[in-house]
Structure 1
Amino acid sequence: MNTPSERVTSRIGLALAVTFTLCFVTGLLSHLVQHPPSWFGWPSRPVWLYRITQGTHVLSGIASVPLLLAKLWSVYPKLFERPVIRSLPHALERLSILVLSAAAFFELVTGLFNVAQNYPWNFYFPQLHYAVAWVAIGSILVHIAVKLPSIRRSITRKPEPSRRAFLRTTWLAAGVAVAATAGATVPLLRNVSGLSWRSGKGPQGLPVNRTAAAAGVVDTANDPGWRLSVVTPDGTKTYSLEQLRALPRTSAELPIACVEGWSESARWSGVSLPELLRHAGSAPGTPVRVFSLEKAGLYGISELPGEHTADDLTLLALELNGEVLDADHGFPCRIIAPSRPGVLQTKWVTRLETL
């Protein structure tokens, strides 16, 4: 017969499985958008799609933290049970718990550090975070498979009053954690999200992850001799800033959403990429490789798929909120495309190559 603690553990475990699976799926989408295999495609509409999926990824991860702590608190007495291993299923259960706990802690702790843009380690965060996510989700599936009979019994029975109080405290802690940080993604909650990060901060009212000084492009971005090169099969065409400003202008309200979970909408104005490609002698819908003046960064080169180069809302932005781009936002021009991660919205653009 299940003990009250087992019933509570099963309920918390199910909630943790939901939040962690949601975090895993949305994180997988983000990874595929940033490193797309040949079979994967990501739409440019609706313009807020990546904002929602990545915001969900971060908030479901934050909700998982108090759930994981409560789950471990409710099962820690089992660590001292003897014998240590009673059967093969029991051994699999213990192993899955060990792997799950280690992988989950790694994912949640490193994810929180990433949100804060603090990296006290030497490994490349995205690759290892992605790899360990598979370990975590695999151990969750094994754990659920082993505990399924117990889970079925537990969810149909009500826990005792003291245990119900513990459950309510756990749900409240998870809800408070989400509400306190959701303002980074949900504009309506910014005034009540005390721990909302990076909202409305930065030049021109928009947060900045990497400044022009940090990228080492202050001088080259402000060089009067700067030119944009557009390379097509028919040759290379160059544009000065004045020539770009003379082309037909497109303005759009678009969100910029970063992998850390924050997002902010702004009014962008510039040259529609399909218009620029046609002017340079190429056809919209052609994949384009984008080069930045930044040479040392991991995202100095990005690729825009045909889905985005055919979309009139994909801009070579020249202005932000009615003002000339600040240097930290990519002056003299940057890419701003709908439903794309911020790390792929290349700043300080100097060259476009059709593929």
Structure 2
Amino acid sequence: MRRGPFRDGKFRSALHEPRTTVVLGRWLGAALLVCFLTGLVSHALQDPPTWLVPYLQSRPVGGYQVTQGLHVISGLAAIPLLGAKLWTVYPRLFEWPPARSVLHALERLGIFVLVAAMLLEVFTGLFNTLQWYPWPFPFRQTHFWLAWLATGGLLVHIAAKGTLIARHWRRPAVGLPQRRAFLTAVTAAAGVVTLTTAGQTVPFLSGLDLLAPRRPDIGPQGLPVNRTAAQAGTVTAPADWRLRVDGPRPYTLTLAELAQLPQHDVELPIACVEGWSATARWSGVRIADLMERAGAPAGAALRFTSFEANGPYRVMEMPSEYAVDPLSLLALRVNGEVLKADHGYPARVIAPNRPGVLQTKWIERIEVV
């Protein structure tokens, strides 16, 4: 009764078979597991639940740089793996009749949800690396819940197909010659995608950074910029700019007065959710020193406010663990130069093991909370 490209007899390749699907499923599962776990780390650091805040740590210094780099690397590698796996099973996606029983219908509905969630997850993540959002819904929250939906659907699917997976888990005594060629081609595709994008995070691969949207050494003062001063509506600092520090002993400082305080140099990375990172030498005043001068009690957290006109991270809260870390600075210079407007002139936050969106620029106020 079926006509067209999905009619019986059209799926002739011998590779539409369980063994090839199981092998690809193992590789894809490993990539998705890394992507899921590192994504949870990123979400927890960007928007931690109240109960988690006391346990957040400022060390290792490059922790977020590593986890978010792995998140994007594994997510990009999953795209060719997912495409290849769907190719091996798509005859089953169009089997006829569509539902033979209620249980069969429920199974196919679960597969539809799983495939849709995984496709949305990897491609919205890809578009996020390009900072392109052609949809009306918020990316971060949607990406987070799609990850749980896809992971739950995957676990249910593995449970439903457990017997079939176990039967084809080990290498058969006699294999299909074309299977080896196909799996080699898929491995090469995933490898090329990884090698030509990982350089935006992995320094020794930067020379191969051909397909990634960022090079970590290109931008003002040798650093990339996600949000420019023009985009934030802060092309120039207010003429009467003062840093206001509110606490038990509130005070204000001009830029000249800030520059007269003890200055410290630190080597810290900027690591962004899009997967790129770059390390620089930052100079400025220790945030702990500003806290002490304001009379902040032990264990106090801080709230930073930017004078940018708008933006979801205009106000940022910093737990005590980060605030008292000697590497956390209110930076005035980067790589030996006064900050340019795009990097947060006159002052910005730089702290270890923090997402780039929380390294707030154009600071005008610090509150002890």
TM-score tier, shorter chain, comes to over 0.9
The correspondence for 2:196, drawn from 180, 185, 208, is 180
Alignment correspondent of 2:6: none
- Describe the superposition over 1:262-296 as per-residue Cα deviations: whole angstroms up to 9, x where unpaired: 00000000001111111222246421011000131
The correspondence for 1:11, drawn from 3, 23, 28, is 23
Judged with a 3 Å threshold, the aligned counterparts in structure 2 of structure 1 residues 282 and 247 are, in CA distance, closer, same or farther, namely: same
Which amino acid in structure 1 is aligned with residue 364 of structure 2? Answer: T
Instruction: Provide the C-alpha distance between the structure 2 equivalents of 1:164 and 1:93, rounded to a whole number of angstroms.
Output: 30
Which amino acid in structure 2 is aligned with residue 185 of structure 1? Answer: T
Ranges in structure 2 where 5+ consecutive residues have no aligned partner: 1-13
Instruction: Provide the C-alpha distance between the structure 2 equivalents of 1:251 and 1:225, rounded to a whole number of angstroms.
Output: 27
- The share of aligned pairs that are identical, in percent, is 53
Where do 1:153-302 residues align within 5 Å? 153-158=167-172, 159-199=175-215, 200-219=217-236, 221=237, 223-232=238-247, 234-283=248-297, 285-302=299-316
Instruction: Provide the C-alpha distance between the structure 2 equivalents of 1:202 and 1:106, rounded to a whole number of angstroms.
Output: 31
The correspondence for 1:27, drawn from 39, 63, 77, is 39
Which amino acid in structure 1 is aligned with residue 210 of structure 2? Answer: G
The farther-off stretch of 307-316 and 82-91 is 82-91
CA contact (8 A) 1:286 1:310 kept: no
The correspondence for 2:328, drawn from 302, 308, 314, is 314
- Confirm whether residue 38 of structure 1 aligns to residue 50 of structure 2: yes
- Confirm whether residue 130 of structure 1 aligns to residue 147 of structure 2: no
Instruction: Provide the C-alpha distance between the structure 2 equivalents of 1:134 and 1:273, rounded to a whole number of angstroms.
Output: 37
TM-score, length of structure 1 as denominator length = 0.95
Which amino acid in structure 2 is aligned with residue 12 of structure 1? Answer: L
CA contact (8 A) 1:4 1:163 kept: no
- Describe the superposition over 1:107-135 as per-residue Cα deviations: whole angstroms up to 9, x where unpaired: 11111111001111221111111111111
Instruction: Provide the C-alpha distance between the structure 2 equivalents of 1:318 and 1:204, rounded to a whole number of angstroms.
Output: 13
**For 1:346, what is the secondary structure of its paired residue?**
coil
- Describe the superposition over 1:18-77 as per-residue Cα deviations: whole angstroms up to 9, x where unpaired: 211211111111111111112213211111000011111111110110011001100111
Which amino acid in structure 2 is aligned with residue 189 of structure 1? Answer: L
Deviation at 1:9, TM superposition (A): 0.4
- Confirm whether residue 110 of structure 1 aligns to residue 128 of structure 2: no
**For 1:319, what is the secondary structure of its paired residue?**
strand
CA contact (8 A) 1:291 1:301 kept: yes
The correspondence for 1:80, drawn from 53, 75, 94, is 94
Instruction: Provide the C-alpha distance between the structure 2 equivalents of 1:230 and 1:273, rounded to a whole number of angstroms.
Output: 11
Deviation at 1:93, TM superposition (A): 3.7
Instruction: Provide the C-alpha distance between the structure 2 equivalents of 1:93 and 1:61, rounded to a whole number of angstroms.
Output: 26
Instruction: Provide the C-alpha distance between the structure 2 equivalents of 1:252 and 1:30, rounded to a whole number of angstroms.
Output: 23
CA contact (8 A) 1:285 1:308 kept: no
Instruction: Provide the C-alpha distance between the structure 2 equivalents of 1:134 and 1:164, rounded to a whole number of angstroms.
Output: 33
How many residues align structurally? 351
Which amino acid in structure 2 is aligned with residue 32 of structure 1? Answer: A
TM-score, length of structure 2 as denominator length = 0.91
Instruction: Provide the C-alpha distance between the structure 1 equivalents of 2:206 and 2:60, rounded to a whole number of angstroms.
Output: 23
CA contact (8 A) 2:347 2:363 kept: yes
Runs of 4+ in 1 over 6 A off after TM superposition: none
Instruction: Provide the C-alpha distance between the structure 2 equivalents of 1:79 and 1:289, rounded to a whole number of angstroms.
Output: 52
Which amino acid in structure 1 is aligned with residue 81 of structure 2? Answer: L
**For 2:250, what is the secondary structure of its paired residue?**
strand
The correspondence for 1:61, drawn from 70, 75, 82, is 75
Instruction: Provide the C-alpha distance between the structure 2 equivalents of 1:241 and 1:224, rounded to a whole number of angstroms.
Output: 11
CA contact (8 A) 1:228 1:238 kept: yes
- Confirm whether residue 348 of structure 1 aligns to residue 362 of structure 2: yes
Ranges in structure 1 where 5+ consecutive residues have no aligned partner: none
Deviation at 1:92, TM superposition (A): 4.4
CA contact (8 A) 1:180 1:196 kept: yes
CA contact (8 A) 2:16 2:89 kept: no
CA contact (8 A) 1:212 1:328 kept: yes
CA RMSD of aligned residues (A): 1.7
